[in-house]
């Protein structure tokens, strides 16, 4: 597709999805810290299981960076429902140390840094890749970073907007350079993409007949 058309259609697609699905109220989480650990725990895991894990942390009274790190031995048991619990425990502890050592466990301090600096710091941590880093930046730190995930790749590659295996940052750039730079918009758009991916643009047997995605882009 011609580049100049993308800015026109990407916003149009958003509007159609929003009208179809309404606001998604992302990210569920009362504090930036809760959102951050949710971003790590939700890797290759459905949110329902992550929610249980976070509830366990809450019930234990450890939804606080320093308290959680102090009781790090309890982490594997607490987060077990989110799956890959040993691996994710290591990742969570590494993040906690980073977050406390550099920012005293305060999102507001972290947020004083430039977004590119924060992003590179997060990406340097073990177990935090592009999607997790950008989810934290957008949903916890409220920075205008468009999150790309498997749903985004599947939906838009099926509509020939880009190739499924195109590099992450290239795809992110397509969205960020063709949409208004708005945290609210990026937040809602990604959430709508996830909903569309789960309910219509499924991996197997997608429901194309009733899909609300604008068909004008199909097989151009």
Partner DNA sequence: GTCCTGCTCG
Partner DNA sequence: CGAGCTGGAC
43 binds DNA (CB under 7 A): yes
Residue 69 or 132 with smaller CB distance to DNA: 132
Least distance in angstroms from the C-beta of 4 to DNA: 30
φ/ψ region of 161 (left if φ > 0, alpha if ψ in -120 to 50, else beta) reads alpha
Least distance in angstroms from the C-beta of 191 to DNA: 7
The count of residues interacting with DNA (CB under 7 A) is 39
Judged by CB under 7 A, the residue of 3, 73, 204, 219 near DNA is 204
111-150 positions binding DNA, by CB under 7 A: 125-133, 135, 149-150
User: Which of helix, strand or coil describes residue 156?
Assistant: helix
Judged by CB under 7 A, the residue of 10, 17, 34, 42 near DNA is 42
Question: Which contacts qualify for 64-68: CB closer than 8 Å, 24 or more apart?
Answer: 64/33, 64/105, 65/33, 65/96, 65/99, 65/100, 65/105, 66/100, 66/105, 68/37, 68/92, 68/96
Mark the segment that binds DNA (CB under 7 A) among 44-52, 67-75, 96-104, 109-117: 44-52
CA distances from 187 to 62, 69, 137 (A): 27, 29, 11
Least distance in angstroms from the C-beta of 173 to DNA: 17
Judged by CB under 7 A, the residue of 48, 114, 210, 219 near DNA is 48
CA gap 34, 54 in Å, rounded: 8
Residue 70 or 202 with smaller CB distance to DNA: 202
* C-beta neighbour count of 220 within 10 angstroms: 10
Least distance in angstroms from the C-beta of 38 to DNA: 8
Q: Kindly report whether the peptide bond that precedes residue 80 is cis, defined as omega within 30 degrees of 0.
A: no
Least distance in angstroms from the C-beta of 84 to DNA: 5
In residues, how long is the chain?
220
Residue 7 or 176 with smaller CB distance to DNA: 176
152 binds DNA (CB under 7 A): no
Burial class (CB in 10 A: 0-12, 13-18, 19+), 46: exposed
Least distance in angstroms from the C-beta of 197 to DNA: 6
CA gap 12, 121 in Å, rounded: 34
Residue 68 or 135 with smaller CB distance to DNA: 135
Q: Which residues bind DNA (CB under 7 A)?
A: 26-28, 42-49, 52, 80-81, 83-87, 125-133, 135, 149-151, 191, 194, 197-198, 202-204
């Amino acid at each position: 597709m011609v580049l100049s058309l993308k800015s026109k259609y990407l916003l149009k697609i958003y509007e159609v999805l929003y009208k179809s699905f309404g606001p998604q109220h992302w990210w569920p989480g009362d504090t930036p810290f809760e959102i951050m650990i949710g971003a790590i725990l939700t890797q290759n895991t459905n949110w329902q299981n992550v929610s249980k894990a976070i509830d366990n942390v809450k019930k234990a009274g450890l939804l606080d960076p320093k308290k959680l790190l102090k009781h790090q031995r309890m982490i594997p048991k607490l987060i077990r429902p989110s799956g890959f619990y040993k691996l994710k425990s290591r990742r969570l502890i590494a993040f906690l140390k980073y977050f406390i050592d550099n920012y005293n466990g305060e999102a507001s301090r972290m947020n004083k840094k430039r977004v590119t600096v924060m992003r590179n710091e997060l990406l340097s941590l073990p177990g935090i890749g592009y999607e997790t880093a950008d989810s934290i930046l957008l949903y916890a730190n409220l920075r205008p970073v468009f999150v790309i995930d498997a749903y985004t790749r599947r939906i838009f590659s099926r509509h020939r907007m880009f190739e499924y295996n195109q590099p992450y940052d290239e795809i992110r750039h397509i969205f960020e350079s063709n949409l208004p730079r708005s945290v609210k918009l990026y937040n809602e758009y990604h959430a709508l993409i996830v909903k569309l991916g789960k309910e219509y643009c499924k991996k197997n047997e997608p429901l194309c007949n009733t899909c609300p995605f604008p068909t004008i882009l199909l097989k151009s």
